[in-house]
């Protein structure tokens, strides 16, 4: 289990990766010298796809490696025996990367020329999500394969937490399995939540993370919604907590 200081350090390191990556992408993009007219051709789009794919593969691996090191350190500190080592899944999903580029280079219907700034803003948002996803995949996949069967918690960071992340954080430390993968592994753009891993049956959460308190909020919203439908509960939580 991580201390608050270790979580903060991991969050800062990952934020640095995202920022450094983006600065490098912008420089490489400028180096291609693509014009809006070229970005309307297959060759231009393919050049951008190649650049973006290499970029996600390289920086996703950096983020994943940081997360794997974090995992190994926590496992070591917990004194878990065995030679298990965290793994870094391949961060590149070619179809997803191609889809993002196609979406970014498509101008709105009533516009005849691509606005480069809008295109880059779309790519920036997606790259942040994909690089952070590589971090989360490394941690979740390692937890799922670890024979010592740890549990993982989503930890809200920063001043504000959205309703969706609050619900997942309220569950505390949970096992990662094939079946739990969908919801536990879904994150919104610019989500700054971190994850913590424990091998203890009775973990003491890091400072500032109180799953019991969060569960109280979830439960109040569930009762007010009069339903176990997640969308209705989220709507109620947003009203009650004044969050997004
Ligand atoms: Zn979040």
Q: How far is the CA of 234 from the centre of ligand 1 (A)?
A: 14
Structure tokens at 157: 């960071």
Q: What is the Cα–Cα distance from 234 to 232, expressed in whole angstroms? A: 5
- CA atoms in the 13 A half-sphere facing the CB of 169: 26
Query: Which residues lie at CB < 5 A from ion ligand 1?
Result: 165, 191, 193
pLDDT at 226 over 90: yes
Question: H or E element: which one contains 151?
Answer: strand 151-155
Q: How far is the CA of 157 from the centre of ligand 1 (A)?
A: 8
- Find all residues with CB under 8 Å of 48, minimum gap 6, and list them: 29, 32, 34, 39, 101, 105
Predicted pLDDT at 54: 95
Structure tokens at 69: 């090191």
Q: How far is the CA of 58 from the centre of ligand 1 (A)?
A: 24
Q: How far is the CA of 135 from the centre of ligand 1 (A)?
A: 14
Q: How far is the CA of 41 from the centre of ligand 1 (A)?
A: 37
Mean predicted confidence (pLDDT) in 36-54 = 95
Q: How far is the CA of 161 from the centre of ligand 1 (A)?
A: 6
pLDDT at 50 over 90: yes
> Burial code of 151-190, b = ≥16 C-beta within 10 A, e = fewer?
bbbbbbbeeebbbbbbbbbbbbbeebeeeeeeebeebeee
Predicted pLDDT at 182: 62
CA distances 198 to 11, 71, 100, 169, Å, are 18, 10, 35, 14
Q: How far is the CA of 188 from the centre of ligand 1 (A)?
A: 7
Mean predicted confidence (pLDDT) in 140-157 = 95
Helical segments of the chain, H only = 4-32, 42-77, 94-104, 116-145, 163-169, 181-184, 211-225, 230-241
The owner of tokens 């793994």 is 87
76: exposed, middle or buried (C-beta count within 10 Å: 0-12, 13-18, 19+)? Answer: exposed
pLDDT band, very low/low/confident/very high, at 191 (cuts 50, 70, 90): confident
Please provide the DSSP assignment of 66-99 as one string: HHHHHHHHHHHHTT--S-----------HHHHHH
Mean predicted confidence (pLDDT) in 157-182 = 84
Beta-carbon count within 10 A of 78 CB: 15
Beta-bridge partners for 211: none
Beta-carbon count within 10 A of 150 CB: 24
Q: How far is the CA of 34 from the centre of ligand 1 (A)?
A: 35
Mean predicted confidence (pLDDT) in 174-192 = 73
Predicted pLDDT at 70: 98
Predicted pLDDT at 234: 95
Q: How far is the CA of 52 from the centre of ligand 1 (A)?
A: 25
CA distances 137 to 33, 60, 65, 88, 127, Å, are 34, 10, 11, 8, 15
């Amino acid at each position: 289990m991580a201390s608050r200081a270790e979580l903060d350090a991991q969050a800062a390191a990952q934020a640095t990766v995202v920022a450094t990556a983006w600065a490098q992408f912008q420089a490489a993009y400028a180096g291609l010298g693509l014009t809006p007219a070229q970005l309307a051709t297959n060759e231009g789009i393919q050049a951008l796809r190649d650049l973006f794919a290499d970029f996600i593969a390289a920086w996703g691996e950096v983020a994943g490696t940081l997360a794997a090191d974090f995992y190994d350190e926590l496992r070591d500190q917990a004194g878990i025996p065995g030679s298990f080592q965290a793994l870094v899944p391949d961060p590149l999903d070619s179809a997803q990367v191609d889809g993002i580029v196609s979406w970014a280079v498509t101008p709105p219907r009533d516009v005849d020329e691509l606005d480069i700034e809008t295109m880059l803003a779309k790519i920036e948002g997606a790259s942040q999500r994909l690089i952070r996803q590589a971090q989360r995949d490394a941690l979740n996949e390692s937890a799922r394969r670890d024979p010592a069967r740890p549990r993982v918690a989503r930890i809200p960071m920063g001043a504000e937490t959205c309703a969706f992340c609050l619900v997942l954080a309220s569950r505390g430390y949970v096992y990662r399995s094939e079946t739990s993968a969908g919801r536990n592994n879904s994150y919104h753009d610019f989500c700054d939540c971190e994850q913590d891993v424990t091998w203890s049956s009775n973990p003491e959460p890091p400072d500032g993370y109180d799953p019991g308190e969060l569960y109280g909020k979830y439960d109040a919203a569930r009762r007010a919604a009069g339903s176990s439908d997640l969308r209705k509960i989220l709507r109620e939580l947003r009203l009650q907590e004044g969050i997004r």
